[in-house]
Amino acid sequence: MSVANPMGQATEMIGAASVARIDAGDEDVAMLDSLLRRGARVGNENLDADRHLHELIPKPWGREYRAYADDFLDVWHLQIDPGHATSMHTHPRKTTYLLCLAGEGTMTTLRGALPVRAGTVLRIGRGAFHSTSSEAPQEPLMLVEVETPRNKYDLLRLCDGYQRVGTGYEQKATALATKPRRVPYLRNASLCRVSPCGGYSFSICAGMDIHYRRRELGTFLVPLGVREMLTDRMTILTDHPDDNRRPSLDSYYLGIRRVA
C-alpha cells in the first residue's frame, strides 16, 4: 500500500512502519542542470585503486566508513554528531537508502523535510538533493546508507556549512582498527564485521536463516545481489513486529544489528 508523505512523495507501508520515497522533482532537475552548466562534474570511483575508501573517513560533521561493498552495492555507516548536518547534496547516478539505527534528526530536501528516528527507512532517488541533520542534544545520529550502483564520487554539493561546495569526496582517511575482510562466497565483496565504536555488527546471512531466525539476525536486513540494482527497487527487511515480508530463500542479506 502507498500513501503520500508531507513532501508529496510515495510512502510504502510495512505494517505500522513505512519507507518514504524521495524522488527528484522539477526543483532538483533545475538545480542539477544549473550546477552542470556552471561546470560542476561528478567523478568515478576506481574500485581497485581508491584504497582510502576502505578506511575511516573523518567528516566535519562526524565520520563514516564502508561497512560492506561489492562491485555493485555500497553500504556505509555514518555518525553525525549532535548539532551538525551534512551538505545539501545530490547523487545524480545512484539510488540511496538511508536507515536510521539511533538518534534523532531531520532529512531536508528542496521541497520540505521529514523526521529521522530509529527504524526510519528513506529511499532517495537519483538526483534528489538532500541534507541530514543530527538533533538529539547528547546522542549522535547513527545511520546506514545503502547505495547502488557503487560510486562514492557520485556527489555534487549545492550548499554546505563547512565550505566544501565545489569540492569532491574527501581524500583523507585514518586507519580502521578492524579491517574489512573478503567474503569468500560473494564475488569481490568485503565486509567490516564490527563498527569502530563497537556498538554495531554486520554479518552475511542466507535467506533460509532469516526465514527461521529473522529477529536474531538484525534490525535491518539488506538484500545483496544485482536484481535490486537492475530493478532500482530494494526490499530491506526490518525487525518491526508487523513486517511480515518474506526473504528470498536463495539470496544473501547483510544483517545490521546493535550489539548489546
pLDDT at 11: 53
Residue 102 has pLDDT above 60, yes or no: yes
Q: Give 184-243 pLDDT, tens digit per residue.
A: 999 899 999 999 999 999 999 999 999 999 988 889 999 998 888 788 889 999 988 888
Mean pLDDT of the chain: 91
Q: Which of 145, 148, 151 is nearest to 228 (CA)?
A: 148
- How large is the average pLDDT for residues 118-141? 96
Of 3.30.56.10, 1.10.10.10, 2.60.120.10, 3.30.2350.10, the CATH number of 2-258 is 2.60.120.10
Check the CA dihedral 205-206-208-210 and report its sign.
Answer: positive
